[in-house]
């Protein structure tokens, strides 16, 4: 059961505007994340560049949106 403090905070948060609630929720979720990986952004930039080069060189194996959606539903168990 939620503590009295949590209940009070929730009541107050629900009184905020939609934009304020969204910002509040984002900040709460962000507070649960661990420290940022210092090399992650650089690594992702390199991976994206590599994939773009493959697409430009026509060496990438691509799938259409329908196939992507089918595979995603299959992996997540959603029919």
In sequence order, the 6+-apart residues with CB closer than 8 A to the CB of 53 are none
Tokens at 71, concatenated: 């595979």
d(CA 68, CA 62): 10
pLDDT reported for residue 79? 65
Q: Which two tokens stand for residue 61?
A: 């194996």
- Cα(26)–Cα(60) distance, rounded to whole angstroms? 36
Per-residue pLDDT of the chain (79 residues; tens, 9 = 90+): 589 999 999 999 999 999 999 999 999 999 998 887 889 999 999 999 999 999 999 999 999 999 999 999 999 988 6
| Global pTM value | 0.46
Please state, in angstroms and rounded to a whole number, the distance separating the CA atoms of residues 29 and 47: 27
């Amino acid at each position: 059961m939620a503590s009295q403090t949590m209940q009070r905070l929730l009541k107050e948060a629900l009184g905020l505007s939609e934009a304020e609630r969204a910002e509040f929720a984002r900040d709460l979720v962000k507070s649960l994340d661990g420290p940022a990986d210092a090399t992650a952004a650089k690594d992702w930039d390199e991976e994206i560049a590599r994939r773009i080069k493959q697409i430009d060189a026509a060496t990438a194996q691509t799938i259409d949106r329908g196939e992507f959606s089918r595979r995603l539903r299959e992996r997540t168990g959603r029919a």
